[in-house]
Amino acid sequence: MEENSSPSRKWIRTKMTEAVIWSTRKVCTLQPTSTTRRRICVPVLHLLRRNNQLRKKPGAVGIGLCDSQCKLQILMTLICRRAATEDAPAIAELASTLQLRAGDDIGHAVSQGFLVFAKPREAYELRFAVSQYCVVALEEEQIVGFLIAHDKAELEALGSNLGYMQTLKDYLFSLSYPHWIYIDQIAVDSNFQHKGIGQKMHDFLFANAPDSVLIAGVTHMPVPNERSLGFFTKNGHMLKKELQEGEWLCGMYVRETGTR
């Protein structure tokens, strides 16, 4: 199958923030199968009979489809918007599929990315009720990705509900930037990866906070999250500090305003 795509986007203003609709038009070259032909012919015959355009008995008329390849145009739509509390169940379920667990294929996890800690539904509900920076990505109304992010005021409001290691809290609350946003999690459904969804969510966050410093934590040890490291460095995040707590070593990657 051959395909090419041309993405476009438009911004829609909502009450609290902006939503982005990304439309990708894909042209696919397909070889029709016997099942495809049957699915096309049956409704066409039915439509002709219903409109009195076909008066012959069933079976007396056939519809011929060429055996050569045909081109189809498919419009795929991805929406990025602010997360809402009602998104929490779907996001908690998605997060659980991406959490690194004992016995998982480490090599696969390192290359594909993983979550160290998937949060329960209640935790995501609380985050979304407080934050204006959390993002969800939807394709055909299905949540296929999410980004959890908070600024200093939101982290203070969450208080003990954060569940962060003490070294991380000490580091974040010691920062002197005029305004910063900490990216806690960014994740994409494994069935929808390699489509630029994570990039679109990151772009959405930055578009809504262009003057803010973006900070992300990336696991270095005991399992390095190489996929996450590559993503953030590609987006202009630079390693500023490493935090150690127990066996966990985490790098803090900072994107200054105006960098890419």
48 shares its domain with 111:
no
The least confident of 42-51, 84-93, 102-111, 125-134 is 42-51
Q: Is 74 exposed, middle or buried (0-12, 13-18, 19+ CB in 10 A)?
A: exposed
Other beta carbons within 10 angstroms of residue 134's beta carbon come to: 25
Please identify which residue in the block is written with the tokens 């262009």.
Answer: 210
Candidates 31, 202, 185; CA nearest to 116 is: 185
pLDDT at 99: 82
- The mean pLDDT value for 190-212 works out to 93
Sign of CA dihedral 188, 110, 212, 133: positive
Amino acid at position 62, single letter: G
Say if 19 falls within a structural domain: no
Domain count, the chain: 2
Say if 23 falls within a structural domain: no
101 shares its domain with 63:
no
Say if 25 falls within a structural domain: no
For residues 163 and 155, the answer to whether their CB atoms sit within 8 Å is: no
244 shares its domain with 136:
yes
87 shares its domain with 58:
no
pLDDT at 259: 57
Say if 64 falls within a structural domain: yes
To the nearest whole number, what is the mean pLDDT of the chain? 81
Structure confidence by residue, pLDDT tens digits, 220-258 = 999 899 999 999 999 999 999 999 999 989 999 999 975
Say if 245 falls within a structural domain: yes
Q: In this model, does residue 119 exceed pLDDT 60?
A: yes
Domain endpoint, select from 16, 46, 68: 68
Q: In this model, does residue 10 exceed pLDDT 90?
A: no
Domain hosting 226: range is 80-255
93 shares its domain with 134:
yes
141 shares its domain with 40:
no
Candidates 7, 18, 20, 15; CA nearest to 145 is: 20
144 shares its domain with 53:
no
Give how far Cα 111 sits from Cα of 17, 37, 92, 114, Å.
33, 41, 22, 9
116 shares its domain with 177:
yes
**Per-residue confidence band for 177, with pLDDT thresholds at 50, 70 and 90:** very high
**Per-residue confidence band for 2, with pLDDT thresholds at 50, 70 and 90:** very low
170 shares its domain with 55:
no
Give how far Cα 35 sits from Cα of 27, 47, 65, 73, 243, Å.
21, 19, 12, 19, 57
Q: In this model, does residue 28 exceed pLDDT 70?
A: no
150 shares its domain with 51:
no
114 shares its domain with 180:
yes
pLDDT at 65: 52
Report how far residue 65's alpha carbon sits from residue 184's, in angstroms, rounded to the nearest whole number.
Answer: 53
User: First and final CA of the chain: distance in angstroms?
Assistant: 35
154 shares its domain with 58:
no
Say if 142 falls within a structural domain: yes
